[in-house]
Amino acid sequence: MLRAILSGDDPQVEAVAAVIAHAHPDILLLQGIDYDLRGHTLTALAEGLARHGIDYPHRFARLPNAGLPIAGTDPPQFHSFGRFAGSGGMAILSRFPIEAEEARDFSDMRWRGQAWTVPPDMAHPDQRLSTMGHWDVPVRLPTGVLHLLAFHATPPVFDGPQDENGLRNGDEVAFWQHYLDGDYGPAPERFVILGDFNNDPELGEGVKPPLSALLADTRLRDPTPNAPTVDWSGLGLPPMRVSYILPDKSTYVTGSGTVWPPPDDHLLQTVNSASRHRLVWADIVLPPPTQENLSKPAKQRVRFLDPHRANR
């Protein structure tokens, strides 16, 4: 991926940059971006975006579980599928300071180590719950702190009769309700849950009750109900909603949607070249000052894009 970004002429990379430039978010969660220890890939992408007129001086990424071997297994088993350790991870780019030292990373939680999870018998005792990761990343806005609760769940397919991936997807989604309940320490006051849930409320495979429960949680807003976010027509599947932005109930949503132009819009070709997954966006206004918010409300753009997984 780094080679493709540095080349300056990769069609998909250029399409991704064009879609991001069109949306022009203040805060962006990327999925499917390779991780490296020194952040060369993320830096190269941010520099490419700067050439499109979007500056992201603040960035955050951690090693995903994809391609990471489970310690002590021989032959090696892996926490989740990946072509190599760090493959297809997550990253946050922001116009506003990211309080990285205050971030909480739950990516090393054992799937079997939680009282509420339902792993199948075949799951390795040390396999982690997170396919990529579960993060709580605080961003310092002019109005106070907004916590980004970001994750990328496994596709609930490609498994056998024990439904390992389906059950794992359900538990990855369910984690956030337990987090908001305070099971893993004090829950943040101002937050947005965002990421690729890899599950549609009604269509396709996947365990539906955890997703339904989260979408119905009275602590959250769902600004784009029933809005599809992925074009799987090439696989013979209908459009589905698998990516979400769910702000906390105290926020005001002034706009939301997906970047999915109509057939007669020239931008559609660029969007299709970027990914089957569409950029999901929400414009939110934080509430009046409380414990963490110390100044007047202001509008912020929080957006999510899964750009580098067009072949899945």
Reported as a single tens digit per residue, the pLDDT across 89-128 is 999 999 999 999 999 999 999 999 999 999 999 999 999 9
pLDDT at 198 over 50: yes
Reported as a single tens digit per residue, the pLDDT across 199-224 is 999 999 999 999 999 999 999 999 99
Please provide the CATH number assigned to the domain covering 2-305. Answer: 3.60.10.10
The distance from CA 245 to its chain's CA centroid, rounded to whole angstroms, is: 9
Cβ neighbors of 27 (< 8 A, separation 6 or more) are 92, 93, 94, 95, 96, 139, 146, 148, 300, 301, 302, 303
The pLDDT of residue 305: 53
pLDDT grade, residue 144 (50/70/90)? confident
Helix or strand (DSSP H, E) at 305: strand 299-305
Q: What's phi and psi for 269, nearest 5 deg?
A: -60, -40
Query: The tokens of 307 are what?
Result: 């750009």
* Of residues 112, 133, 248, the one with CA closest to residue 180: 248
- The pLDDT > 90 percentage for the chain reads 81
Mean per-residue pLDDT of the chain: 91
pLDDT at 290 over 70: no
pLDDT at 301 over 70: no
pLDDT grade, residue 143 (50/70/90)? confident
- The pLDDT > 70 percentage for the chain reads 92
* Of residues 115, 147, 120, 118, the one with CA closest to residue 134: 147
The pLDDT of residue 311: 38
The pLDDT of residue 286: 85
pLDDT grade, residue 1 (50/70/90)? confident
pLDDT at 169 over 90: yes
Hey, where are the domains in the chain? 2-305
User: Higher confidence at residue 310 or residue 14?
Assistant: 14
pLDDT grade, residue 307 (50/70/90)? very low
Query: The tokens of 146 are what?
Result: 């907004």
* Of residues 92, 10, 32, 17, the one with CA closest to residue 57: 92
The pLDDT of residue 7: 78
pLDDT at 312 over 60: no
Reported as a single tens digit per residue, the pLDDT across 231-268 is 999 889 999 999 999 999 999 999 999 999 999 999 99
Contact 259/290 with Cβ under 8 angstroms?
Answer: no
pLDDT at 309 over 70: no
Reported as a single tens digit per residue, the pLDDT across 60-93 is 999 999 999 999 999 999 999 999 999 999 999 9
pTM value is 0.91
